[in-house]
Structure 1
C-alpha cells in the first residue's frame, strides 16, 4: 500500500515537532516547513494528500495559503485541517471552512483527538484514491468496450459484404451448371444420359445447399435464421439423399440402405431444406469415414401425441468410429476426431458443426454413439405435425412443358457472365422473344434510351455500374419516360438483405439464377400482361 504524504505548515519549530510526533506512523510520509511560500512549492511538486496548516503566520496567514492551494488545479484536492490557538469563535471557523478547510484542531492539541482525526482523514484519502482509480479503470474499460464494439460492427459489415460477394461469385457458375442441366433435359437423351444429368442437377443443388450452410451459420450468429415448414414426404426425402450419395458410395463399394418404419406418415410439416442438410451432412460424413460395409439411413416413429409424431433419423455406419474422448470435439467448428483423421480423410470439419446448429434451431436433439473400428450412429430426433392424407387422385401422365411464342415481346438483358448469357439467350430465342444483351448497368441505360422494352432482366452484380445503381438511376428519371419500366433483378444471391436492397432500389421482383424455364417464362408473361 502506497504511503500518503502529509504536509505540516507552522512558523514555530516546536509546534512542528509536536505534530510530527502525534501523527508519526508507518503508512505516511511527513513533510514540514515553517514558510508558507515553501509550503506552496512543496504542494506543487509533491503529491500532498493532507495539509495541517497553522492559521497565524507572518508574511502569509493560513487562510491566504489555503486560498492559493484551492485555486490551483494541481493542489485543489488537498484535505486541509487548520491548526489554531486563536479564539474558537464561530466567525473564524466559518472563514476557514469557506476557503476550503475540512476541519479544525485547537491548541493545545489533544493527542487522542489529533490522532483520531488524522486517521479518519487518511482513510478518506485512501477511499477517494481507490474510487478515483476504479473510475479511471472503468473509463479505460469503457473506451475499450466502445472500440471493441466499433471493431465488431465493422467486422460484421465486412463479413456480410464478403458473404454477399462470395454467395454471388460461387452461386453464379453453379447456377450455370443447373441451367445447362435443365436445357439438356429438354433435349433428346438416352435413359442413361438423362439419369446422369439428373444426378448432376441433384449434385449441383446439393452444392448450393452447402453454400447456404455457410450463409446459414452467419444468419445463426446474427439471430436472423428462419425455419420454414412445408408439407414434406420423409420417405422421398430419404430416397433422394440415398440417390444423391450413391455414386460416391459405389466408388468405395459401400452399400447404402434406407429403412423406413411402417408407421411413418406419408407427409409431415417440416423444413425439408434444413432436414435434407442434416441428412446429407451426416450420411456424407458416414460414407467418408467408412472403408467397407454399409451406411444405413433409418427413419423411425418413436412417440405419438395427438396429431404429432416424434421421428428419429439414424445414420448407422460400419466405419472407423470415434474415441469417447473425441466425441464432443467433432461437433466443434473446423474440428475433427484427431489430427490423423484430418491427414487421412481431409475435410474442413464444418459439417457436424452445421448439423449441430441446425438441429438446435429446429428444436430437435442430436446424439451420437460410437466405438473405435466398429462404427458410429448419429441420430436426430424431432416432433413433427402429421399432414392429414387425402384420397389420391388418379395419376395423369405429365405433359411436356409448352411455351407459347412471344414474338411481340422485347426484353433488355443486363448480364456479364458468359454461361448465364448463353442460357438466357437460348431460352428467349426458343420463345421467339426479341432481346438485346448488355454487360453492365451503364450500357443498359444507353440501350434503354435508344429502344422501347417491355421488361428488363438485370443482374445485380456487374462491372462499371452495378444493376442496383442502374435501377436507382432509371427510377430517378435518368432515361426520361422510362421511369416505370418493369425491372426484375436476376440474381445468384439468396441472402435476405440482398432481396431487401434490390426492392428498395426499385426492382419489381427478384428471380434466382436457377434458370428454371417455367419460372422464367411465367415471370416474363406476368409482367407483359400487367
Structure 2
C-alpha cells in the first residue's frame, strides 16, 4: 500500500516537473519570437528611414539641379502648358515663374515658329526625344534664340508630360553669323585680289615678251661690245621680271585652287641642271661658286612634273644667290628612299649667305613674307618665291624645310616622291 502510494507521488511529481519545464520552454520560445519580431520591426524601420533619407537626398539633388541650372529647365503637361519652371526660365522668357505656370509654351514663340515646335512636341509624347532651335518673343519685344531639348516624362509606363531644357544661344548664333559674313567678305576680297593679280600679270607679260624678243634681235644685229653689254643687262632684267610675273600668276592660281601638277617621263638630272644653268650667269657675276652634285644611284628616268620641279629648284637657287654676298651655292640631288613603285628624291640648296634667325624661319614660307623689312629694302623681292615652292611641293606630295643660323648660311631642302616608268633604267 505504501509502495503504491509512493509510486503515485512520484508520478504526480514527474507530471508537475514536466509541466513546469514545458512552461519555461514555451515562455523562452515566446520571448525569443518576440525579440526576433522586435528586431525585424526595428530593421524594417531602419530600412524605411534609410529609404526615406535616400529619397529626400535624391529629391534635394534634383531640386538643386533644377533651381541652379544655367539653362531654362521646365516641365509641360500633355496640353503643352507649363507645370514648373526654374529661375533661368524666367530670365530666358522674360516672364516670372508664376506667370509661366499654366501658360502654353507656344505662347512664348515668335510668330511662325509654332509649327516645328508642335511637331517636336508630338514626337516627344510618342517617346522620341527631340532637339531643335526656335525663337522666344519676350514681353518687352526682344527675342532670344534657344536650343531646346525635350524628353518624355514617363510614370507607370505612361507618358504624363514633357521635360524641357532651353539654352539661350543668341550670342553664339550672332557670333557664328558674324564669322560667316566675315569669311564670305574675306573670300570675296581674296578672289578679287587673285583676279586683279592675274589680269595685271597678263597685261605686263604681253609687252614684256615683246621687249625680250626685240632684245634678242638686237643682240644678233652686230653690236659693239658696249652695246652688247647693255643689251645683255636688258635681257637679264627682262628674265627676272618675267619670273616675277610667273610667280604672281602661280600665286593667283594656287590661291584660287586652280594649280595642278602633271606626271610625265623625265630626266631629273636634266631638270635640275637646266635650273642651275639659268642662274649660273648671275652667280658668276657676283663671284659665287656654283656647283651641282647628283647621286649616282638616281634613276635616269622618273615620272613627275619637270616644269614644277624646275620652278621649285630655280626659286631656291634665286633665293640662295640673292642672299649670298660671297662664298658658294651648292646643289645636291640624292635618293632618300626607294619604294616598290616610286623613288623619294631629296634636293638640297646650300649657301654661305647671311642666314636667318629661328624666328624668321617660322614665317619663311608665308606669302609676301621675308625675314624682316630691312632684308626687303636691301635685297629686294616680293616674298612670293618660297611660299610658291611650299605650295608646289605640297601639291607633289612632298615636304620642304629650312635649316639656318644668322651669318652661318642656309640650307633649303625638299623631298618629293617620283614614280618610275616600267622601262626605267
Q: TM-score range by the shorter chain?
A: 0.5 to 0.7
Q: 1:368 aligns with which of 390, 393, 402?
A: 402
* Aligned residues of 1:202 and 1:244 also touching (Cα < 8 A): no
One of 318, 324, 340 as aligned partner of 1:284: 318
Q: How does 1:153-168 map to 2 (within 5 A)?
A: 153-168=187-202
For residues 439-498 of structure 1, what are the alpha-carbon distances to aligned partners after superposition, in whole Å with 9 as ceiling and x for unaligned?
xxxxxxxxxxxxxxxxxxxxxxxxxxxxxxxxxxxxxxxxxxxxxxxxxxxxxxxxxxxx
In the alignment, the residues of structure 1 paired with residue 191 and residue 318 of structure 2 have an alpha-carbon distance, to the nearest angstrom, of 33
Q: Is 1:51 the equivalent of 2:99? A: yes
Partner of 1:331, secondary structure, is coil
Matched with 1:319 is 353
Question: Map of 1:477-488 to 2, 5 A cutoff?
Answer: none
What is the CA–CA distance in structure 2 between the aligned matches of 1:336 and 1:317, rounded to whole Å?
Answer: 17
Task: Pick which of 315-324 and 346-355 moved more.
Answer: 346-355
1:171 aligns with 2:205: yes
From 221, 246, 260, the equivalent of 1:212 is: 246
Secondary structure of the 2:403 match is strand
1:318 Cα deviation from its structure 2 partner: 1.1
Q: Distance in 2 between matches of 1:147 and 1:191?
A: 62
Map 1:293-442 → 2, pairs under 5 A: 293-306=327-340, 308-338=342-372, 340-387=374-421
Instruction: Give the paired residue count.
Output: 289
Query: How does the TM-score come out when normalised to structure 1?
Result: 0.45
Displacement of 1:385 in angstroms is: 2.4
Deviation at residue 166 of structure 1 after TM alignment = 1.2
Pick from 236, 246, 249: which aligns with 2:283? Answer: 249
Q: Which residue of 2 aligns with 1:228?
A: 262
Given the superposition, is the C-alpha separation of residues 248 and 152 from structure 1 closer, same or farther in structure 2, using an over 3 Å criterion? same
Once the two structures are superposed, residues 297-350 of structure 1 have per-residue CA deviations (whole angstroms, 9 ceiling, x without a partner) of 112223323463222211111112223343323223333334554454343333
Please list the CA deviations of residues 233-268 of structure 1 after superposition, one character each: whole Å capped at 9, or x if unmatched: 333333322232223323321111122223334343
Q: Cα distance, 1:203 vs. partner?
A: 6.7
SS in structure 1 opposite 2:262? coil
Query: Do the aligned partners of residues 324 and 141 (structure 1) sit closer, same or farther apart at CA in structure 2, a change above 3 Å counting?
Result: closer
Residue 190 and residue 360 in structure 1: after superposition, are their counterparts in 2 closer, same or farther (change >3 A)?
Answer: farther
Q: Choose the corresponding residue for 2:295, options 258, 261, 276.
A: 261
- Structure 1 unaligned residues grouped into runs of 5+: 5-25, 30-45, 54-62, 75-123, 392-530
Instruction: Classify the secondary structure of the residue corresponding to 1:50.
Output: helix
Describe the shift of the 1:199–1:303 C-alpha distance in structure 2 as closer, same or farther (beyond 3 A).
farther
TM-score for both structures, normalised by structure 2: 0.55
Tell me, in whole angstroms, the C-alpha distance in 2 between the residues paired with 1:175 and 1:316: 32
Report if the CA contact (8 A) 1:303-1:311 is conserved: yes
Once the two structures are superposed, the pairs formed by residues 442-457 of structure 1 within 5 Å of their partners are none
Query: How far is 1:295 from its partner?
Result: 0.5
CA apart distance, 1:186: 7.5
1:237 aligns with 271
Change (3 A) 1:371 1:160: closer
Q: Distance in 2 between matches of 1:143 and 1:27?
A: 25
Task: Please give the alpha-carbon distance, in whole angstroms, between the structure 2 residues aligned to 1:315 and 1:28.
Answer: 67
Compared CA separation, residues 307 and 194, structure 1 to 2 (3 A): farther
Gaps of 5+ in 2: 1-67, 73-86, 112-162
1:383 & 1:27 partners in 2: Cα distance?
Answer: 60
Shift of 1:367: 2.5
Shift in Å at residue 157 of structure 1?
4.2
Contact 1:203/1:244 (CA < 8 Å) preserved in 2? Answer: no
